[in-house]
Chain A
Amino acid sequence: MGLAHQLTPFAALLPLGVAFLMLALSHWLPPRSADVTSLVVSLGLVVLCGWLAIESLHGPILHWFGAWTPEVSGKPDVMLGIAFSVDPASAAVAAFCALLFAGSFVFAWGYFDKVHAHFHILMLLFLAAMIGFCLTRDLFNLFVWFELMGIAAFALTAYPLGKSSLEGAFNFTVTNALGSFLMLAGVGLLYARTGTLDFVTMGRVIASVPPDPVIAGGFCLLATALLTKAAIVPFHMWLSDAHAVAPSPVSVIFSGVMVSLGLFGLLKLIAMVFAGDAQVMMLVHVVLFWLGVATAVVGGLMAWAQRHLKRLLAFSTIAHLGVMLIAIASVSAIGTEGFLVYLVGHGLVKGTLFMIAGILLARFNSVDELELYGEGRSLWPAGIAMGLAGLLLGGLPWGLLHDATDSVHAGNHGVAGVVAIIVGTALTGAAVLRATGRIFLRWSGVPAVELVAPTEREREKGNRPLWLMLLPCVVMLAIALLPADLAESFLHSAASGLVARVVPHEGGGTLAAAITFALTILIPAASLLRRRPIRKFARRAVEAETAPFYALHVLHSGRVTDYVVWMMVGLAVLAGWLKFG
Chain B
Amino acid sequence: MAKGVRDKKKIGKAGVILIVISVLFVLLMLVLPLVSVIVNSLKEGFGFYFNSLSTKYVLSALGVTLLATVCAVLLNTFFGLVAGWLLTKFSFRGKQFLATLIDIPFSISPVIAGLAYIMTFGRLGWAAPIIDSINNTFGTDIQIVFAIPGVILATTFVTFPFVSREIIPVLNTQGRDEEEAAALMGAGGFRIFRKITFPHIKWATIYGVILCTARALGEFGAVAALSKTRGKTFTLPLEIDALYLAGSSDSITAAFAVSSLLVMIAIAVLVLRNFFERREL
Q: Do A and B interact with each other, yes or no?
A: no
